[in-house]
A = this chain, B = another copy of it.
């Protein structure tokens, strides 16, 4: 069936349909309607009513919506003068609508649509009758939202709905939502004992032992990458005199996001970024061109003052570390460096299973620092490096920062959501502000370019993204627990299990024996729930044959392995600590 209406029209009319259904279901209440716009995947409607809607009301509303569809009410457009509109809505006690109307120009004609007893202000267009609406919608959730998005206004109830013109599309979206919910890192973080939050530190995760293990292993992973690409890790202070932030320009441009503290009549700021520390370190020494590129890496903890209302799980936090580095280099080394960076980034993303990567190059904006000749050189270097890398990329003309062009890298996760991870940002400004120099081949003083670059970005955010990507099932090399050994009966099999465990621990594997007096079934379920990569069951047969029965997470069956085969398998898997192409 060719669509008679476009999807936005259908969504918009379905929003009216929902509002009408709600007014019918609670006729005794003065239900004030706010606005009900179309969004990417459906629509929402903000309403104010004395009854607080809950999840259980949603099917009732849906049912009423379907009933109204069946009624086939005609949807008709009409117009008001502003005065008539105010009179009408005053009579109906619709203060939100009056507030809206008051913001319209005095002489504007105000359109409305009616369907049966229901009337709503609207620009349209709409479908012709309620029975034209396809039933491919689902009410999803209720959230609080300030009227007109202003926290000084009243909090309304916002009902979100998915809405499509096609049954399969709705189903696909609902499956996606379900999958996203299952993978929600906040939920998995709790279930797998990875991290927690407490009200004394908004946006500041407490990593529990398993989470801290994964976190530290990510740092170690990055360090192994660094050792292959000639990075030098440094450790820098976190609280520095505002003087430094004036020099760097952060005080001027980023003050609102910084935490300040006063000591002995000096003002200090908690660092939101590492860059000024690295500029300062560079400025303490003299360099020759032979010593460049110099690559300072830093896992320093950063703090940024994000509004408490915007904080969410690990993806929007107030404190985090980046796999941050600053590269000091002559302008004529940019191309080689970018090529090497692309190699590093893709090797790394590939290793985490991110095969679909978008590369965007942002070029000079109108307002900028640095000579056009330097921009020319830099942009050409970036473009030819990207071409040489053999990767597709898009150019965002004029989208660079005023201090230099940049490359962003976005990965698509297991359920096809894109997240920006990597960034490569050229900077012509900081070297000027810190008056950085090196001696070039002619023996002259020259200003280096600085590249800010992050590979995974904020480790906290990456922790969240990757946890969702693997849905909590970490690969062997990263799993806080690599295997759980389950004796069938403690009386007969515990000792053998403990010996196996101690042998594996000595080899450096992370295993434990589940020695609780619980049924095999319960232990199996809990090991599965904890998403441990391997479970090994030890019973009579294993003891008799001196073997191990091993079952991989998610697999239906077990394998039987000798101890040597087991060690070989585990050792092979553990090698994934280092990406294949970087192994010696």
Contact = CB atoms under 8 A, between A and B. Distances in A.
A577 to B, nearest CB: 13
Interface stretch (A104-112, A118-126, A202-210, A364-372): A202-210
Contacts of A506: 584
A574 interface: no
Contacts of A301: 238, 301
Interface stretch (A91-99, A302-310, A337-345, A520-528): A302-310
B281 A206 contact: yes
Contacts of A477: none
A235 interface: yes
Contacts of A143: none
A467 B235 CA distance: 17
Given A198-B280, A284-B196, A234 B259 contact: no
Interface string A454-491: 00000000000000000000000000000000000000
Contact of A305 (B200, B236, B263): B263
Interface stretch (A64-72, A239-247, A416-424): A239-247
A166 to B, nearest CB: 45
A235 B263 contact: no
Interface residues of A, number: 49
Nearest to A507: B584
A291 to B, nearest CB: 12
A296 B209 CA distance: 8
A150 interface: no
Nearest to A307: B264
Interface string A181-204: 000000000000000101111001
Copies in the complex: 2
Nearest to A290: B516
A436 B303 CA distance: 30
Most B Cβ at <10 Å: residue of A200, A236, A261: A200
A570 interface: no
A405 interface: no
B233 A206 contact: no
A206 B196 CA distance: 31
A204 B319 contact: no
A209 B196 contact: no
B204 A239 contact: yes
A307 B266 CA distance: 12
A277 interface: yes
A266 B498 CA distance: 51
Most B Cβ at <10 Å: residue of A211, A235, A307: A235
A89 B35 CA distance: 91
A235 B463 CA distance: 13
A237 interface: yes
A213 B233 contact: yes
B319 A239 contact: yes
Contacts of A584: 506
A232 interface: yes
A243 B211 CA distance: 26
Interface in A536-584: 584
A236 B281 contact: no
17 contacts: A200-B280, A201-B241, A204-B237, A204-B238, A206-B235, A206-B281, A207-B235, A208-B281, A209-B234, A239-B303, A239-B319, A259-B261, A259-B263, A259-B268, A261-B261, A261-B270, A264-B308
The 7 A-B residue pairs with the shortest CB-CB distance, nearest first, are A204-B237, A209-B232, A207-B235, A201-B237, A200-B241, A506-B584, A259-B261
Given A201-B237, A239-B319, 18 more contacts: A198-B284, A201-B244, A204-B239, A205-B237, A206-B234, A206-B237, A207-B234, A209-B232, A209-B233, A209-B234, A212-B235, A216-B235, A237-B319, A238-B301, A238-B303, A239-B318, A259-B261, A259-B263
